C-alpha cells in the first residue's frame, strides 16, 4: 500500500481529531455564520486541539449548515502546528478546497451501497473510482487524504454489516492512497464485542498507524468501545466537542462521542492528548447558546458545576 505514514502516537499518547464543527453541526437546524464557526474553531485550537475538521465541500443545498467552508478557512488562516481538514465528496468539492489553505482532505463512503447512495448518490464502487482520481490530484498538490468508512456495524437501510466487508473496504481505501481510515460507527449501536470483531478482521493492517475510531453515542456505549479500541492498539480517535449533532443520513442516531468525555477518560488512563479539558465546557456552552441545542457531554455538565477539574486531575 503506497503513501502510508505512521501517526504521531504511542501507548501513552493519543491523537484526537475534532469533528464537532463539521459532524456536530451538520444535523443541527440552526445555521451558524462563517464568523461564528471560525471563532469556535479558534477556541478549540487554543484549547490544545491540533487536528480539526473545519467543514466540508458538499452541496450547500444538501447540507446548508456547512456552506461557506472556504470562508471559514480564510477566517482561521494558517495556524502553525495545526492540521485543518474538510470533507470532499466529488471533483467539484476538490477544486473548491484547492482554492483554500486547508491542509488535508477526507473522502467518505459507507460500508453498504444503500448508505453510500443515500449520502453521496454513488455506489461504493463508483465512489472509490471517483476518490482514486481525487486522491491523485490531491497528492499532486501536496495534500494528504484521510478516508472515512461509515456504518461499520449496522446500516440504517440494510441492517447488519459484515466485518469482512468492512475489512475489504478499509484495505481498498488504504490502497487508493488514504493515509488512514476512520471507522465510523454511525448509528451508535455497537458494543465492545462488535468493535473487537471489526478490528480483529482487519488482519495485518496496523491499527496503531492506519486506523482511527469515529464513534457515535446513541446507546451510551462509545466510551466502552473506546476502551476496547485502546486495548487492541487504536491510538487515534474522532470526537466532537459537546457531543452535538448526528448523521442526517442515519435517522435516530445521536451525536459523536463528546471530546471532553473522551479526554477525561484518556487523562484517567494516563494517556496524553495535549488538550486542556477545562477549556472545553465553555466552548460547549457557546455552541449550545448559538444553536439552541442541548449538549450531550456529561463531563461538561460536571465541570460546569465544579468550575475546574483540578480536584480530579491536579
5 is a domain residue: no
Among the listed ranges 2-11, 54-63, 190-199, which one has the minimum average pLDDT value?
Answer: 2-11
Distance CA 309, CA 300 (A): 10
Q: Would you state the pLDDT for residue 7?
A: 37
| Phi-psi domain of 234 (left: phi exceeds 0; alpha: psi -120 through 50; beta: other) | beta
DSSP state of 209: H
pLDDT band at 61 (very low <50, low <70, confident <90, very high): confident
- Is 90 exceeded by the pLDDT of residue 163? yes
Catalytic residues: 247
Q: How much of the chain, in percent, has pLDDT values that exceed 70?
A: 91
272 is a domain residue: yes
Distance CA 27, CA 246 (A): 6
Q: How high is the mean pLDDT of the chain? A: 92
36 is a domain residue: yes
Expressed as residue numbers, the domain containing 59 is 15-306
Name the E strands within 233-310. Answer: 236-239
Q: Cell numbers at residue 76, please?
A: 482561521
Q: Cell numbers at residue 156, please?
A: 440504517
140 is a domain residue: yes
Q: Cell numbers at residue 196, please?
A: 473487537
- C-alpha pair distances (Å), 208 with each of 173, 178, 237, 264: 16, 15, 11, 21
Nearest residue to 280 via CA among 20, 10, 15, 103:
20
pLDDT band at 212 (very low <50, low <70, confident <90, very high): very high
Residue 81 CB: number of other CB atoms within 10 A? 6
Query: If you average pLDDT over residues 7-35, what whole number do you get?
Result: 87
Q: Cell numbers at residue 210, please?
A: 492506519
Rounded to two decimals, the pTM is: 0.92
Q: Would you state the pLDDT for residue 255?
A: 82
42 is a domain residue: yes
Q: Cell numbers at residue 62, please?
A: 444538501
4 is a domain residue: no
Query: If you average pLDDT over residues 73-91, what whole number do you get?
Result: 95
314 is a domain residue: no
8 is a domain residue: no
Total domains, the chain: 1
Q: Would you state the pLDDT for residue 3?
A: 32
Radius of gyration of the chain (CA): 18
pLDDT band at 303 (very low <50, low <70, confident <90, very high): confident
Residue 5 CB: number of other CB atoms within 10 A? 10
Distance CA 214, CA 19 (A): 9
Q: Which residues pair with 272 in a beta bridge?
A: 13
Distance CA 122, CA 187 (A): 20
Query: If you average pLDDT over residues 185-198, what whole number do you get?
Result: 97
Decide if 179 contacts 5 (C-beta within 8 A).
Answer: yes
The domain that holds 39 is classified in CATH as 3.20.20.70
Q: Which residues pair with 106 in a beta bridge?
A: 87, 146
Q: Would you state the pLDDT for residue 249?
A: 59
Amino acid at each position: 500500500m503506497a503513501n502510508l505514514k505512521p501517526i504521531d502516537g504511542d501507548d501513552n499518547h493519543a491523537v484526537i481529531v475534532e469533528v464537532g464543527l463539521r459532524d456536530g453541526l451538520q444535523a443541527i437546524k440552526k445555521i451558524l455564520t462563517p464568523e461564528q464557526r471560525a471563532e469556535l474553531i479558534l477556541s478549540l485550537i487554543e484549547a490544545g486541539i491540533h487536528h480539526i475538521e473545519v467543514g466540508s465541500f458538499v452541496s450547500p443545498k444538501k447540507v446548508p449548515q456547512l456552506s461557506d467552508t472556504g470562508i471559514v478557512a480564510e477566517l482561521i488562516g494558517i495556524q502553525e502546528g495545526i492540521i485543518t481538514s474538510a470533507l470532499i465528496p466529488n471533483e467539484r468539492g476538490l477544486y473548491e478546497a484547492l482554492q483554500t489553505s486547508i491542509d488535508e482532505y477526507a473522502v467518505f463512503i459507507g460500508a453498504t451501497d444503500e448508505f453510500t447512495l443515500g449520502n453521496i448518490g454513488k455506489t461504493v464502487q463508483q465512489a472509490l473510482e471517483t476518490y482514486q482520481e481525487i486522491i491523485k490530484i490531491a497528492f499532486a498538490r501536496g495534500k494528504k487524504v484521510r478516508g472515512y468508512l461509515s456504518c461499520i456495524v449496522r446500516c440504517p437501510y440494510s441492517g447488519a454489516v459484515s466485518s469482512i466487508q468492512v475489512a475489504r473496504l478499509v484495505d481498498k481505501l488504504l490502497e487508493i492512497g488514504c493515509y488512514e481510515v476512520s471507522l465510523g460507527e454511525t448509528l451508535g449501536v455497537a458494543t465492545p464485542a462488535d468493535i473487537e470483531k471489526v478490528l480483529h478482521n482487519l488482519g495485518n493492517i496496523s491499527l496503531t498507524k492506519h486506523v482511527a475510531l469515529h464513534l457515535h453515542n446513541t446507546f451510551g456505549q462509545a466510551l466502552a468501545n473506546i476502551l476496547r479500541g485502546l486495548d487492541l492498539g487504536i491510538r487515534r480517535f474522532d470526537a466532537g466537542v459537546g457531543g452535538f449533532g448526528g448523521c442526517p443520513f442515519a435517522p435516530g442516531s445521536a451525536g459523536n462521542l463528546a471530546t471532553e468525555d473522551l479526554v477525561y477518560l484518556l487523562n484517567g488512563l494516563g494517556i496524553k492528548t495535549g488538550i486542556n479539558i477545562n477549556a472545553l465546557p465553555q466552548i460547549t456552552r457557546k455552541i449550545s447558546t448559538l444553536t439552541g441545542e442541548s449538549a450531550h457531554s456529561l463531563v461538561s455538565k460536571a465541570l460546569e458545576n465544579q468550575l475546574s477539574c483540578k480536584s480530579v486531575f491536579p
